[in-house]
Amino acid sequence: MTPPSLPLLYSYRRCPYAMRARMALLQAGQPFEVFEVVLRDKPAALLQLSPKGTVPVLRLPGGEVLEESWDIMRRAFATADEPHWWQAAQSPANLALLQRNDGAFKRDLDRYKYPGRDPDENRSRETVRADAEAALLLPLEARLQAERWLGGERPCATDLAIFPFVRQFAAVEPQWFGTQPLPALQAWLDAWLATPLFAACMAKLPSQEVVRFPMLPALSLR
């Protein structure tokens, strides 16, 4: 059997962690194959590589397995032409934002999206929403008032890592979100949603089989 020549990404189209991994691979110009997972029917091959059973998971041609989206992004940008994408994401401010996103904000995002699902949650939905806003959206607004992207004049991995989660939050109550005094954040989200990079990452592909992910020519966000 010939060894695989391309990285294989186990992915789920609507998962924000998988979106950030796909965008990093696309932006870095790293060709890859993808297996679109059905979460209630995970393939044995995935569980063998990564028993914790979350996506994304990246299997590299040499056999190495990356089980966390941030590690996949790191690996993607390690070979990219533009070191800024990864380097700018290493500032203490950006690492702190990522931690807020993946921690308090993500927890409250799930509670806001699915009220009543967590029996231990006793805050009202409005309080959950306000707490999520305070945890991430207000600090993000302050940053984006000062700089166009989280990478400064150019975007970086932190932008890619966070905006899929803000997108989900905004989509819960779009009218409410659109009327909040968060102009820089709203403009940043709209800009990301309009990028060819995001459109490419959301390509609809057959599920439950390995297919080559369609790549994009060089992308520019300037």
Ligand X SMILES: N[C@@H](CCC(=O)N[C@@H](CS)C(=O)NCC(=O)O)C(=O)O
- Contacting positions for ligand X (CB under 6 A): 12, 15, 17, 39, 53-56, 68-70
Contact 150, 162 (CB under 8 A): yes
Of 69 and 195, which has the nearer Cβ to ligand X? 69
- Least distance between ligand X and beta carbon 157 (Å): 13
122-158 burial code (b ≥16 CB/10 A, e <16): eeeeeebbbbbbebbbbbbbebbeeebbbbeebbbbb
Q: What is the DSSP letter of 137?
A: I
Query: Which residue pairs, CB below 8 angstroms and at least 24 apart, start in 199-202?
Result: 200/26, 201/19, 201/22, 201/23, 201/26, 202/13, 202/19
- Least distance between ligand X and beta carbon 15 (Å): 3
Of 141 and 159, which has the nearer Cβ to ligand X? 159
- Least distance between ligand X and beta carbon 107 (Å): 12
Cβ neighbours around 46 below 10 Å, total:
18
Give the whole-angstrom CA distance, residue 90 versus residue 96: 10
- Least distance between ligand X and beta carbon 67 (Å): 7
- Least distance between ligand X and beta carbon 58 (Å): 10
Contact 62, 39 (CB under 8 A): no
Q: Which residue is nearest to ligand X (CB)?
A: 15
Give the whole-angstrom CA distance, residue 119 versus residue 140: 30
Amino acid occupying residue 89 = A
Of 39 and 193, which has the nearer Cβ to ligand X? 39
Of 38 and 199, which has the nearer Cβ to ligand X? 38
Of 50 and 186, which has the nearer Cβ to ligand X? 50
- Least distance between ligand X and beta carbon 158 (Å): 14
Distances (CA, A) of 189 to 19, 92, 124, 157, 198: 15, 22, 26, 15, 11
Of 16 and 151, which has the nearer Cβ to ligand X? 16
